[in-house]
Structure 1
């Protein structure tokens, strides 16, 4: 497994290189002049040109990319055009609120999603199944921004139980995590149900029941391990989406995280911040997929890595 892990880590390099090229080209295709935005709308053309030269935007694109990539290799993502602070500092300040929000959302989404999915599979085509799948479909169908505003209206404005903005205490995480994790819990429930229904029909499950084992033992000892591999795969992908796709929720709750930082960077055409964030999100997805692949071996010891 160690050799497999090291090979996958080495395989990150060409993937990240391709992502870096695509992101660099993409941000330079965005409309708007970052030099004008950095200089201010009231600046004259001479000032704008001076800012463009200072930022290196007057050089040819290949030369800009070589300079950018040389700095990235040294973990230097440049300086934010908007705040004039190092990009690494900007990201470091926003990373923990997003990570904690993602983890809290994922924890409750996995617990509720798997509980609903397993219950629906065990009582397939009965009322617990219909109720669970109705809740799952509702969670998928309801937009995140609408759910967030509804939760704020009920629990913050009318009841006054939870704050609406900030990330200072655990109470600030309740409403954003519920909003962010609702769709994940719904997807988890449907995916877990489908996986369990398939496993429950296998011969080894009928054999376990024929031996007189308790239904709880059959479900959690024999079915759970065999049904977890596709569920863990989906769980890893959903965690990556949560970590990099919390933009809408962070905008609704004015959350001081990476999603909000990305929105501000795109608005101001802050090239260094956009490039660093997209590279970070890409690396997160790759690492999460690697962790999921390694977890397969712990879930099912018969899996061998080559």
Structure 2
């Protein structure tokens, strides 16, 4: 297991290097001049050129890329063009609100989605199945930004029960986490249903039922572990989806997280912040895939890593 993990971590390095190269080139294709934005719209051409030279944007792209990679290897993400602060510090201030929102959304959506999926599979083609799948399809079909605005209108504007701006208390997490996790819960419900139906048609499950084992024990003991492997795979993919989807939700709820920071950085053409955030998102997604692979062995001891 340890050797497998080390190999996977080493395998991350080429992927991260490709991400660094792609993001570096992509952000420089964005329209607008970051030197002009940093100097101010009223600055003359000489001042803009001085700012461009100070920021190192006057150097050829290969030189800029080399300098950026060298700084990364030394743990330096650069300095924000907009705030003149270290990028690592800027991101660190916004990291925890986004991470907590993602984790809370993931926990409730996975639990809720799996319960709905299991109920649908046990009562397949009956009214509980139809009701649960109707809820699942509704959750997928409703865009996150629209759901967020509806929740704000009902629970904040009309009822006045929940706040909509900030992340200073547990109540601030309720509406954003519901908005962010609704689609994930729906996907998990449909995927869990399909996985459980497939496993429940296996011979060993039929044998257990023929022996008079209760349906609850059949689901909990004979079906759950074998059906969980593809579900765990989907959980990892959906966690990555939540990290990306948080950008829209953070804008809707004015959330002080990394998503809104990325929007501000793109607007200001703040290259170092954009590169740092995308690199962090990519690393998190790769790390999630590694964790999912390790969980396979915990769920099914028959899996061996080489």
TM bucket normalised to smaller: over 0.9
* Equivalent residues of 2:180, 2:245 under 8 A apart: no
CA RMSD of aligned residues (A): 0.6
Secondary structure, aligned partner of 1:254: coil
Secondary structure, aligned partner of 2:31: coil
Q: Aligned equivalents of 2:88 and 2:196: distance in 1?
A: 44
* Alpha-carbon displacement from aligned partner over 1:38-95 (angstroms, at most 9, x marks no partner): 1111111111000000000000000000000000111101110111111000100000
Q: Which residue of 1 aligns with 2:195?
A: 195
* Alpha-carbon displacement from aligned partner over 1:196-239 (angstroms, at most 9, x marks no partner): 11011010100111222111010011111001011000001111
Unaligned runs of 5+ in 2: none
> Residue 241 of structure 1: CA displacement?
1.6
Moved over 2 A (4+): none
> Residue 194 of structure 1: CA displacement?
0.5
Unaligned runs of 5+ in 1: none
Q: Name the count of aligned residue pairs.
A: 306
Matches within 5 A, 1:52-131: 52-131=52-131
Q: Which residue of 2 aligns with 1:299?
A: 299
Q: Which residue of 2 aligns with 1:184?
A: 184
Q: Which residue of 2 aligns with 1:170?
A: 170
> Residue 249 of structure 1: CA displacement?
0.3
Q: Is 1:279 matched with 2:271?
A: no
Q: Is 1:50 matched with 2:50?
A: yes
- TM-score, normalization by structure 2: 0.99
Q: Is 1:29 matched with 2:29?
A: yes
Q: Aligned equivalents of 2:174 and 2:264: distance in 1?
A: 24
Q: Which residue of 2 aligns with 1:245?
A: 245
- TM-score, normalization by structure 1: 0.99
